[in-house]
Amino acid sequence: MTEKKPYEVPTAGIEYNEFVGSLGPYGNGNPVNTELHVRYGIRGGRYYDWAIKLIAREGDVDSLRTTGERPVRYVMDSFSIEQGAVVHRVRTGPGPEDFDTTVSRRLFAGDGPVVDAGYSFFLGQLANQWDARHETRDPHTVATFGFAQHNRDAEFREVKYPWVRNTVACIDDDPADDVVTERMKHYFPDGGTVAVHCRSDGRMKFLKVGAGAAPDGSSDSTTVDEETMTATGHTSMGMVVDAIYCADDWIDDELLP
């Protein structure tokens, strides 16, 4: 019997995208903020490559404002596609090599559909594990996983909002400098999109952000002086949305499930 070759990510025609969002405090009395960071590669509507990470963020925008020191981040839990396998890593200690690494599933040539289905399966597994640690869902968790659910839909991703790329998901109460100056600059220094969950009406609104810029409301970003957002430190993303989405017929929003 001929041994099957291990799965390899296709090298041609793959288009990559990313998104990140806070999930709130880790739980069990641990105040460290946790972020979900996802990177995926698509060809023909299927996810042939992906990495899903839970990242701890120690420090916040308050310390950044006062000291200029950026938060420290480290991966706590991840699932990723590697040659011939879905690999699961869980942090076990403070060192860079302190991970428990296991193979969740072997992958072989022709397993592209399995990889595609695995994205939803393992993202759902992380979501269920997170919910099991918390009695109530943090609004950030709702916003982040809500965006992830929308973004999995090809109609949303490829037809309605093809310009929504390299996205930071947040809620309307989040400080604008935390979202744009801290998270956006850390994950997407060349700019991207902010997805704001406006909880009063259950909708998510999208703002495009240029490199080193404050957000604007168009699909064609223009650079805006960042100082207009960070001068006071008290501007919320909801205030930014209210200023931009003042017209009743604005269409760049989506009802969150």
Domain range annotation of the chain: 15-255
Whether 195 shows a pLDDT value over 80: the answer reads yes
- pLDDT value, residue 86: 97
Question: Chain-wide mean pLDDT for the chain?
Answer: 84
pLDDT digits (tens, 9 = 90+) for 164-188: 999 999 999 999 988 988 999 999 9
Query: CA-to-CA distance for 56 and 213, rounded, in angstroms?
Result: 25
The strand pair at 167-171 and 253-255 is best described as unpaired
Q: What are phi and psi of 59, to 5 degrees?
A: 105, 160
Identify which of 210, 206, 75, 195 has the alpha carbon closest to the alpha carbon of residue 142.
195
Q: What global pTM score does this model have?
A: 0.85
What three-state secondary structure class fits 19?
strand
225: which DSSP letter?
B
Residue-wise pLDDT tens digits, 201-245 = 888 999 988 875 544 444 333 332 232 333 245 788 988 888 876
Predicted pLDDT at 255:
58
Positive/negative CA dihedral, 161, 150, 181, 52: negative
Element (H, E) at 72: strand 72-82
CA 101 remoteness from chain centre: 23
Between 125 and 61, the more confident residue is 125
Residues 6 or more apart in contact with residue 167 via CB below 8 angstroms: 18, 19, 20, 147, 151, 192, 193, 194, 195
